[in-house]
Amino acid sequence: MKAINRIATRLNRTTEVMTWMHLFFGFEGRIGRQQWWLAMLPLLLVSLCASFLANPMSWFSDLVAQRGPNLAETLFSLALLIPETAVTVKRFNDRNWPQGLAYGYATVFLLYIILDHYRLVLASQIPSIVEFGFASSVAAIMLVIIFDNGFLRGTAGANRYGPDPLACDRGKAIGNSLRESAYRTHDDA
C-alpha cells in the first residue's frame, strides 16, 4: 500500500498543473486541443462583448460600422492579442512548430488591427486588390490556425517544449485511480 501511494505521488509530481495565468499569459509549455478550445472560446466571447461595449452602435448601424473600430475597440483587440498569442504559442509547441511561426502570425494580426483602426484596409465599398489580398491572407491564416490547433493531435511524447499534455492527463488519471484503489484496499482491510 505504501508503494502505491509513492507511485501516485511520483506521478502527480511529474505532471504539471497549468494555472489560468500561465495559460493566458505564459509562453512556455504545451497544451492539447481541448485546452486550446477551452481557452480560445472564452477569448472570442470576451472579444465580442468588449467590441459591443466599446462601440455598440457599430453592431446596429452600417454607417457607424463603416467608420471602423473606435479607439476602445482597437485597444481591446490589442490587449486580447497577448493571451491569444500565448495560447497559440503553447499549442504550436505541442505541434512541435517553431515558436517564431506563432509570433509571425501575431504580427500579421497586429498589423491588421492597426490598419483597420486607421481604415487603411477594407475601408471602401469595393476593396482594392491589395486590400483583398491582405484580408484574404489574414482569413487564411486564421483558418489554418483553427484547423491545425483545434483538430490535429500534437506531437506524441515529449518534445523540445515539454512533456506530452495528453500523457500528463493520463498520468493524473493513473495516479488518481492508484490512489483510489489504495484507499479502497485500506478501507477493506
User: Tell me: the pLDDT tens digits for 37-71?
Assistant: 999 999 999 999 999 999 998 888 888 877 889 99
**Lowest-pLDDT range of 90-94, 147-151, 171-175, 178-182:** 178-182
User: What predicted TM-score, i.e. pTM, was given to this entire model?
Assistant: 0.77
Phi/psi for 26 (5° steps) reads -95, 150
d(CA 165, CA 107): 27
Write down the mean pLDDT value for the chain.
83
What's the pLDDT at 16? 55
C-alpha span between 41 and 46 (Å, rounded): 9
pLDDT at 5 over 50: no
